[in-house]
Structure 1
Amino acid sequence: MPKIGKTSPTNCQSWCDKHHNNRIQPVQRYACAALKSYHSMDTVVTTEATSRTLSAGGIETDAVIIGAGPVGLFQVFELGLLEIKAHVIDSLAYAGGQPMELYPDKPIFDIPAVPVCTGKELTDSLLKQINPFGAVFHFGQEVSEVERQPDGRFYVETNKGTQFLTKTIFIAAGVGAFQPRLLKVDGIEAHTGTQVHYSVKNPAKFAGKNLIILGGGDSAIDWALNFVGDGPNKAESVILIHRRDGFKAAPANVAKMRALCDQYEMQFIVGQVTGLDERDGQLVGAKVTGADGVTRIVPMDAMLVFFGLSPKLGPIANWGLDIERKQLVVDTEKFSTNVPGIFAVGDINTYPGKKKLILSGFHECALAAFGASPIIFPDKRVFLQYTTTSPKLHKVLGVETPTFD
C-alpha cells in the first residue's frame, strides 16, 4: 500500500507528475485523485515501499481487525473457522462498538434466530462464540499508520505505539471512531474530566453531589433516574436540562422522570447552558438560558453531558482507499477494497444495494474471510465446510464431533 508522507498542498500535482510519469497503477492513480479532497490535511500518498522492522514487543500476525463491534467480532469467528488468528484494535475501552456505546440496554429484534437481545447481550454472546479462537484485543487505540512492505505484508502502528506486521487488514470500524458531541461554552476545557464529563465510568464518584445532566436521549434520562434512585450512588440533587420539552428516549423512562419531577425528587429545565460560573478555579454553577430568554445560574458540583456521539472516519480517510461519501468502496465477491489485502465489512463499506444491518455485516465477514484465505495460505486450497458435520471444524471449535442416529 502507498505510504503516507508529508507535502504542501501546492506541490501535490507536480509531485505526482514527477514521480508517476503517467505509469502509475490504478491503486496509485486513485490515491492521488482521492487526495484532492484531503489537501487541508497536508497529506500525500507516496509510492516507495520501505522495509520496517518491528521494535521489541512488535506483533507478527495473519490478520488485524480494526473495530471490535458485532461485525468485527464475527469477523474473528469466520477467520477462526479457517484457522486464521487475528488481533483486534478498537478506539473504545471495551468490545461491542455502537450497540454497547449507544444502546447497551435497548432491544435488538433482527438478529437471525434471536427473537430479542440487548446490545450488551449480543456482545457477550459474540465474545463467547469467538472464545475458542484466542483473538487478542488492543483497546483504547487507533490505527495511525499503515504501510505496505516489500514482502506484501502491512506494517500497522497505533497511536499508542503498538506495532504489527500482518498479511491482511479487515476494517470493521462501523462509521469510524465515536467521539462525544461537546458542550461548546467558553472555558469548559479546563474542567473537562474533573467536573464536566461526557460519560460515566464510575457512578460512585457522583454520589452525594449536586448534578446537572444535559441531553434529551436515553443516556441522559437513564443516568438521571439512576442518580435519583435510592442506592449507594444516589446524588444530593439532580437537574436535567434539555433545549426543548421533548425527548428521544424510552417513553416509560421519560414518564418516570416527569413523575419524579412532580414529586420534587428532581428538576427538569427547558433551556441551554450558555456559560459557566467559576470560583477559585472551581466550577460552582452553570449559566442556563431558559425558553423565556432569561439566563439564570444553576448551582452544581458536576455536569454530565450526553449530546450523543459523533462518528469520525479518522485516519482511515488518509490511507489511499477508494472512498465514496465517507464509506469504503468494496467488491461484493470478497469485500476487498481497492488495495489488495485490505477488506472492509459492516457499516464502513458501500456497494450497490448496501443495507446497514448487523446481519448484512455478518454475511460480509464470511465472504471476506474466504477472500483473504489465498493471501494468508497461498499454497493451500480452502474448501467450504459445515460446522454441523466437519470434524475439522469441531476440532477448531473445541467441541466433540456429534453422532447422529
Structure 2
Amino acid sequence: MSSPEQHTDVAIIGAGPVGLFAIFECGMLRMKCHVIDALDVIGGQCAALYPEKPIYDIPGYPSIDAADLIERLNEQTAPFSPVYHLGQQVVSLSRAEGDRWLVETSAGTRINAKAVIVAAGVGAFGPNRPPLDGLEQYEGKSVHYLVRRRLDYAGKRVVIAGGGDSAVDWANSLAEVAAKIMVVHRRAKFRAAPESVARLEQLTKEGKVEMVVPYQLAGLEGTDGTLTGVRVATLDGDEKVLDADVLLPFFGLAMNLGPIADWGLNLERHHIKIEQSTCATSLPGIFAIGDIATYPGKLKLILSGFAEAAAAAYSAFPLVHPGEVLHFEYSTTKGVPGAAE
C-alpha cells in the first residue's frame, strides 16, 4: 500500500552544504521545502567523509571545519522549518497532476512538489580503492578512506597516498598530531590549491612531513589487519618499505548517479547539464545545483554551489507563486522572515 502524498513547494534532493543553502534561499522567497538524502545525517560529504577537514574558501571564514560549516548552515535554515527525509534514496521522479512532480523514495515516502532542486553532489559515492593484494583485511582497521577525527591519528606513523586536495590538506592537518607523516605520490607536482601545496612544502622543509616521490603503492605488510609497513615502488620497479601504522589512500571518489540516470535529464559525463543563469535542466520545473550540475566554465566549489542555490530558488519562484511579481530585495533590507508560510 502506497504512503499518502506529502505536498510541498520545493523538493530538494541532497542535504549537503549546497542543498542546505537552497533551503535558506527558498525560505527567503516563502517556499516550503522537503529534503531527501540517502545518508542518515545532513551534511553530505562534509559529514560522511571529512567532518574535521578544514575548509579555507568559505567567505568570512579563514578556516572552518566541515562539520562546523554544516552546523552553521543548519542554524541558517532553522527559521524555515524544512522537513527532512533522511536515510532514504530517491528511486522515482515522475510527473504529477497540474505540472507538479512526484518524488518517491526507497522508504516509500511520496512527495508532491511544484519544483525539484537536485543537489545530490556526486550522486552515490564511494572511494577509489588501490589495487593491493590483501587490502580487505586492513580496511577499517589500518587502512581508511576518510578521517573522522584527527586525534585518532595522534602519535601514529601515517602514510598518505595521493596528489589531490584531500591528500595535501590532510597531510598538512595531521602533521600537527601524528608522530610521522609520509606522502606518497607518483610525481612531484600536486593537484591541490597552491596555498595548501606551499604549506606542505614548508612542513617538508621543517621535517614534519616526508615526501615519498616519485613512488606509488605496491603492497601492505602486517598481520590480522594491523599494518606495520607500506611497500612503495618507482615506475622502474625500485621498492622500499615505509614503517607505518596507518595508510590513508586518497584517490578520489567513484561516482554513481543511480536512479538519477533514468529520469530523462540531459546528462554529460555523469553530470546534469543546466542553463547557468537559471540552473534549469532539460525538464521543466527541475533544477540542478552543486557538484552534480555542469555548464561551460563550471567551478566545482562550495561557494559556486551556493550561488547556484540562489539562482535555482529565484527560478523556481514563478512555479510556486504563479502570477506574483518578485521584487528583488537584499537580505539586509528585508531581514530573515519566520518560518515559510
Q: Pick from 267, 272, 279 the counterpart of residue 223 of structure 2.
A: 279
**Deviation for aligned residue 1:311:** 4.5
**Deviation for aligned residue 1:253:** 1.6
> Structure 1 224/337 Cα, relative in aligned 2: closer, same or farther at 3 Å?
closer
> Structure 1 257/316 Cα, relative in aligned 2: closer, same or farther at 3 Å?
same
Distance 1:395 1:273 in 2: 52
CA contact 2:96–2:112 (8 Å) conserved in 1:
no
Q: Pick from 318, 325, 328 the counterpart of residue 383 of structure 1.
A: 325
Q: Pick from 43, 50, 72 the counterpart of residue 95 of structure 1.
A: 43
**Deviation for aligned residue 1:157:** 0.6
CA contact 1:195–1:283 (8 Å) conserved in 2:
yes
Secondary structure of the residue that 2:55 maps to in structure 1?
coil
Q: Which residue pairs with 1:305 in the alignment?
A: 249
> Structure 1 293/132 Cα, relative in aligned 2: closer, same or farther at 3 Å?
same
| Letter of the structure 1 residue corresponding to residue 56 of structure 2 | K
Distance 2:217 2:287 in 1: 44
> Structure 1 175/395 Cα, relative in aligned 2: closer, same or farther at 3 Å?
closer
Aligned residues: 325
CA contact 2:10–2:34 (8 Å) conserved in 1:
yes
Q: Which residue pairs with 2:152 in the alignment?
A: 205
TM-score in terms of structure 2 length: 0.75
Distance 2:232 2:24 in 1: 50
Distance 1:345 1:207 in 2: 38
**Match runs of 1:5-404 below 5 Å:** 53-54=2-3, 60-90=7-37, 93-95=41-43, 104-107=54-57, 126-138=73-85, 142-148=89-95, 153-158=101-106, 161=107, 163-167=109-113, 168-229=115-176, 234-249=177-192, 250-261=196-207, 265-270=208-213, 271-280=215-224, 282-290=226-234, 293-330=237-274, 335-349=279-293, 355-356=298-299, 357-358=304-305, 360-374=307-321, 381-387=323-329, 396-397=337-338
Please list the CA deviations of residues 174-198 of structure 1 after superposition, one character each: whole Å capped at 9, or x if unmatched. 4544443322222213322222111
> Structure 1 204/132 Cα, relative in aligned 2: closer, same or farther at 3 Å?
same
Please list the CA deviations of residues 13-65 of structure 1 after superposition, one character each: whole Å capped at 9, or x if unmatched. xxxxxxxxxxxxxxxxxxxxxxxxxxxxxxxxxxxxxxx7118xx85543321
**Deviation for aligned residue 1:212:** 1.8
> Structure 1 122/224 Cα, relative in aligned 2: closer, same or farther at 3 Å?
closer
> Structure 1 242/141 Cα, relative in aligned 2: closer, same or farther at 3 Å?
farther
Distance 1:122 1:282 in 2: 34
Distance 2:29 2:101 in 1: 19
Distance 2:222 2:190 in 1: 30
> Structure 1 345/371 Cα, relative in aligned 2: closer, same or farther at 3 Å?
farther
Secondary structure of the residue that 2:148 maps to in structure 1?
coil
Secondary structure of the residue that 1:79 maps to in structure 2?
helix
CA contact 2:161–2:167 (8 Å) conserved in 1:
yes
Unaligned runs of 5+ residues in structure 1 are 1-51, 375-379, 399-405
**Deviation for aligned residue 1:345:** 3.4
Distance 1:84 1:166 in 2: 14
Please list the CA deviations of residues 108-165 of structure 1 after superposition, one character each: whole Å capped at 9, or x if unmatched. 5xx7xx697868587666444433112244556543333445785414214xx36232
**Deviation for aligned residue 1:257:** 2.5
Distance 2:223 2:44 in 1: 40
| Letter of the structure 1 residue corresponding to residue 2 of structure 2 | T
CA contact 1:67–1:173 (8 Å) conserved in 2:
yes
| Letter of the structure 2 residue corresponding to residue 321 of structure 1 | L
| Letter of the structure 1 residue corresponding to residue 146 of structure 2 | S
Higher relative contact order (CA 8 A, sep 6+): 2
Please list the CA deviations of residues 65-90 of structure 1 after superposition, one character each: whole Å capped at 9, or x if unmatched. 11334542332123223432212234
CA contact 1:74–1:365 (8 Å) conserved in 2:
no
Please list the CA deviations of residues 362-385 of structure 1 after superposition, one character each: whole Å capped at 9, or x if unmatched. 4522333214315xxxxx643314
TM-score in terms of structure 1 length: 0.64
CA contact 2:163–2:185 (8 Å) conserved in 1:
yes
| Letter of the structure 1 residue corresponding to residue 210 of structure 2 | Q
CA contact 1:373–1:382 (8 Å) conserved in 2:
no
Please list the CA deviations of residues 332-352 of structure 1 after superposition, one character each: whole Å capped at 9, or x if unmatched. 78654444443323454456x
Q: Percent identity?
A: 35
> Structure 1 395/218 Cα, relative in aligned 2: closer, same or farther at 3 Å?
closer
Unaligned runs of 5+ residues in structure 2 are none
Distance 2:116 2:94 in 1: 11
| Letter of the structure 2 residue corresponding to residue 256 of structure 1 | Q
> Structure 1 299/171 Cα, relative in aligned 2: closer, same or farther at 3 Å?
same
CA contact 2:137–2:224 (8 Å) conserved in 1:
no
Distance 2:8 2:81 in 1: 13
